[in-house]
Chain A
Amino acid sequence: MRGLQNYITTLLKQFLPKLQGNRSGLPLAELAWWAFLFALITGVILSFNYRPWGDVFKSVSKLTGWLPYGAFFRRLHYLSGQAFLILTFAHTLEHFLRETYRHIKPQEWTKLVLLFFLSFPLVFTGFILKGDKGGIIAGRVMYNLAQEIPYLGSGLAALLLRPGEDFFLLPYLHHTVILPLVVIFLLGRHRKHLLPKGGLGWTLMAFLAFLATFYPLPPDVPPHVETTKIAGPWFFHGIQLLLHYGPPFWVGVLWPLVPIGLLAILSFIPSSLLKWAKWIVIITWLLHVTFLLIAWCLIPGFIK
């Protein structure tokens, strides 16, 4: 077991250099925070012409197709969000492998895992706000999955989304106000400086701007189009696959929370059991990735 762990650590060192002490070779946290800031700024810019009511699809289509630089800002916002999610995941992975949870307060670790967890709903609500068929269906699935939760379900669902004319209003509120504020609040205690220093931001921005200039967004599917296949955001494809076969509450609500939940409580686990707990976390995450890969690769046409 120890030999296997050493092997994995050695392998990862090649991709995440200098996993030693408290310094990492690649400042993932810094980059993640820059990405979040870019997403925040471009989101504010986009909100000048985004309307979460009426014909949202038409307004997004106009914003993307015709408003000057609208497509650029939309792509930049999208790529920043994705970068934030991926970099936060990488940062969390780095500290998981470094076993940082052994060295900091348990509540602090849990709070940081919560911060990592929040990146998912942040990006997911953005997916809904596209206003196309995928976004609308993602919203409906989220609403209905929430309702599957015993006792709390209907209350929680009402906080997430309102079916009907105000469909996009609550996701918009969560995406633009509530979740960013919570992230900033939680991060405020985590970082020494709220505003990052250093030139890393310019590099990331140049990279994202370059991608945003040429990277084609996936096409927006008009809401009225009848289609037998519709896909949610890429990081939920594994769960979408499982929802074909399993009961919604277990595979759609409970199962996604298991890896995050286990990661969050790691610092509370007694030292003697920590090794096993760590492997359980690794296995659950690997299972998630496996389902994701199956959904992408082994069942072509499922997610198109």
Chain B
Amino acid sequence: MKRTSIISLVVLLLIFIFLILRQEYHYISSPPSPDGCVVCHEPETEPSPSHLLAVLGCSSCHLGNPFARAKDRAHMGIVKNPGDLHFSRLTCGRNGCHPDLPQRVEKSIMATNRGILKAMQTLWPHDTSESVHDIRELIEKPIGQSVALDHFRKMCGGCHLWRPRYPKLGEIGRRGGGCTDCHIQELSSHTQDLSKKRFRHPELTTRIPSENCLKCHNRSARIGLSYTGRFESEAYGTPYQKGGPGSRRLSGGRFYLELPSDVHHQKAGMDCIDCHTEKGVMGDGKIYTHQEEQVDITCITCHDPDLQNENPDRELARRLERLNRRQPSFSVHSYLISPKGSPLYHIRPGPGNKMKLYRKRDGKEIVFERLAQPEVHKAPYHKRLSCQACHSAWMPQCYGCHETLFKQASQRGWLTGKKWPGRWVEGRSYLRFRKPTLGVWPDGQIGPFAPGCQVFLETFDEKGDYQPDISFRSLVMASFDPHTTAKNSPDCIGCHLDSKVLGLGEGSLKVTGKGLNFKPVYLSSESGLGIEFPLDAFVSAKGSPLQKPSRPQGRPFNGEELQQITRVGLCIPCHDQYDDPIYSRYEQSLSRFLAGDAPCRKEVP
């Protein structure tokens, strides 16, 4: 054999020996299962019993290169938060896992923010050539002239599911993240040092705690706060503690007072998910413009269910029940169904007039009664009343939203994190908890309204000069469920003759032969607001709307309705029972009264 061949053989042998030694003594011999991430990252906790590391590994969710040994190769394409909607179709939504969910969530209102965008672009002066439909469109759109969209970008755009999870402290750091925005038991994972081998993996859950919802739902309508008995107060921080601002604090430097919480929270300790179904929260794949179109629950669903309809999706119900891991296992029982057909697997009929709800958080049994007092709840003259109209104990009402836009300064936008000219300064006239103003909701029912929003905008250009042509006023009253349900409703006079409830505002109301005579307490024009009616007046005494409704189909009471409601109000002090005979034959009774034939006679038209 030639010398070169011998030398080549020696070189080969040395290479093979080197390889064998390196393999046997340096590398771990057997590949870890199911992927190689655990060699460097050893979680002390599992994501969830349905997401066991031994079964799924890490790369099923976090992608990357699952078996590369070098860090840069292994981390190529890695996804820190698999729930982020930018990746969720590849991670949570991969084949064999949750393929339908990312598409549903992407179209849901918490991801699109269609409602807020539509409201702002409709209720504020806005050039429709700049209109957008949803957040993704807005993110891709360059900054334009629209003040409405500028306001949204800088002041409202922090609460949506497309927002990535940033490693910031506080509430802002916990917002966003797509699927993980809701489905994570909050763990300060961003403060963990992931370069260390052992760490605590955030826990996934379907038993979503209400705190996850409150990250965002503590602003605007403040329903999360109201549900848990907190009222955002004026910013003084009273009552003082040890001479300084109190400890009842909210994010953003706000404070709160404690008021009665919603009865579902107070008495039953229920979380948001005990009412709000997965279809109502994640969407059903359809694109809705307003939240009430997507919400999949009503009071009647549980409190006055149609028990004849017992044909739920049993397979889905069983799966959801099993995944909850807290529900009692009964082999056969009937479920309630939500308006959109979701099986309410945790609620079932009980004995007699009772219903049983098993809290999703811990499976605790809550027994409640079906709708009682039919003479009250089925009274024909109250058939337009929503449950919330009578059973909302209070409603947070933020009057007068005074916005100033200074174009000399810049502000960072929530959507892109970039800064551009235009700094918003916001203040309010006053904040109140009070009985809600009632009006007619878009669906025709009578329900609560609160300011949402009463905007007084002043704009100053780059030189600091006031721009009257793009400054404006837009006063809107919004219809929504305040989530302050109380078992008892106010007494009849409390609605029928309360000017505030009727929509006239706080003041003195007289029912005369010539109509309603109302003197408001708050004098807007004297206060320099530039309007002739008080901020809490939705309608004038003659029935003319004074403020815009948040939905085109909503409205305050009209003149005829105001007349009817107040006229009955005059009977109530004596006839204060639902089963009073005059109400069963009201028109007849009224005619008798007007003819002077009634036992009680007052001067009314």
Residues of A within 8 A of B (CB): 57-58, 61-69, 72, 199, 202-203, 205-207, 209-210, 213, 219-222, 224-225
Contact = CB atoms under 8 A, between A and B. Distances in A.
A222 B2 contact: no
B116 to A, nearest CB: 29
Interface in B1-52: 1-2, 4-5, 7-9, 11-12, 15-16, 18-19, 23, 27, 29, 31-32, 35-36
Given A222-B76, A222-B77, A65 B69 contact: yes
Given A199-B2, A203-B4, A62 B66 contact: yes
B63 interface: yes
B526 interface: no
B12 A202 contact: yes
Interface of B: 1-2, 4-5, 7-9, 11-12, 15-16, 18-19, 23, 27, 29, 31-32, 35-36, 59, 63-69, 72-73, 76-77, 87, 90
A50 to B, nearest CB: 13
Nearest to A66: B31
A220 B12 contact: no
A225 B76 contact: yes
A206 B90 CA distance: 43
A210 B15 CA distance: 7
A68 B15 contact: no
Contact of B67 (A66, A72, A225): A66
Contacts of B31: 62, 65-67
B73 A206 contact: no
Contacts of A222: 63-65, 76-77
A219 B36 CA distance: 16
A63 B559 CA distance: 80
Nearest to A202: B8
B31 to A, nearest CB: 3
A10 B15 CA distance: 39
Given A62-B35, A209-B16, 7 more contacts: A58-B35, A61-B68, A62-B31, A66-B67, A72-B19, A213-B19, A219-B72
Contacts of B65: 57, 61, 65, 219-220, 222
A64 B68 contact: yes
Contacts of A66: 31-32, 36, 67, 69
A202 B19 contact: no
Contacts of B77: 221-222, 224-225
A64 B36 CA distance: 12
10 contacts: A58-B59, A61-B65, A66-B32, A66-B69, A68-B29, A199-B5, A202-B9, A209-B12, A213-B15, A219-B72
A213 B18 contact: yes
A206 B35 CA distance: 33
B68 A209 contact: no
- Most interface-central of B4, B16, B65, B90 (chain A CB within 10 A): B65
B74 to A, nearest CB: 8
Contact of B73 (A69, A210, A220, A224): A220
Nearest to A63: B67
Contact of A210 (B4, B11, B87): B11
Given A69-B23, A225-B76, A58 B9 contact: no
